[in-house]
Structure 1
Amino acid sequence: MTITLLLLACLLTCAGQVAQKYAVESWRGLESGIALKLRSPWLWLALLCLGLGLLVWLLVLQRLEVSIAYPMLSLNFVLITLVARYLFKENIDLRHWCGVGLVIAGVVLLGQHA
């Protein structure tokens, strides 16, 4: 159950970050005023996902030591890299992929203590 909650917190946070990206992309060409920007459904989706992610994260912290739980959030780097590559068509170089591999190795090592 704890691992499921941890993965859900990561997914919600990642979804919130993707929605943030779409929100700022939708603001291109708009006036600098905030009123139009506040109408962006992407902004509200980002706030919803990040808010839910926070609530799930609190449940994770009830079940895991913070020294184990917090580094597990580095899975977000992996998820966001995949989203950047496949959804936003960004070029990811070999050094970046090696870093992603190291993050995964670190999560696996920490996960053995959970």
Structure 2
Amino acid sequence: MSLLLLLVACLLTCMGQIAQKYAVESWRDQPSGWADKLRSPWLWLALACLGMGLLVWLLVLQRLEVGVAYPMLSLNFVLITLVARFVFHETIDRRHWFGVALVIGGVALLGQHA
């Protein structure tokens, strides 16, 4: 159950980050003020996802040691890299992919402890 909660926290955090990206992308072509920006549904989705992610994270911290749980949030780097590549069509170089592979290996090692 703890690892499932950790995965949910990661997914909510990633969804929040993606919604932030969409929010700022939607602002790019609009020379509007902050009032218009605050009406962005992407911004509110980001805040909702990040807020829910925080609440789930608190549940995770009740169940896992912070020394195990926090490094496992590194899965966010993996997920965001995949989104950057396949959703936003950003170029990801080999060194970055190697780093992602190392993160996956580290999370797998930590997962055995949890």
TM-score tier, shorter chain, comes to: over 0.9
Shift of 1:90: 0.6
1:31-42 to 2 correspondence within 5 Å? Answer: 31-42=31-42
Alignment correspondent of 1:57: 57
For the 8 Å contact 1:30–1:36, the answer to whether it is kept is no
Shift of 1:28: 1.2
- TM-score, normalising length: structure 2: 0.98
Stretches of 4+ moved more than 6 A in 1?
Answer: none
Identity %, equivalent residues: 79
Structure-2 separation of matches of 1:28 and 1:16: 19
Structure-1 separation of matches of 2:30 and 2:98: 38
Alignment correspondent of 1:103: 103
- TM-score, normalising length: structure 1: 0.98
User: What is the count of residue pairs matched by the alignment?
Assistant: 114
Task: Tell whether 2:89 aligns with 1:89.
Answer: yes
Q: CA RMSD in A?
A: 0.7
Q: Which amino acid aligns with 1:25?
A: E
Structure-2 separation of matches of 1:98 and 1:31: 39
**For structure 2, which runs of at least 5 residues remain unmatched after alignment?**
none
Alignment correspondent of 1:12: 12
Structure-2 separation of matches of 1:40 and 1:63: 35
Shift of 1:32: 4.8
SS of residue matched to 1:50: helix
Structure-2 separation of matches of 1:28 and 1:22: 10
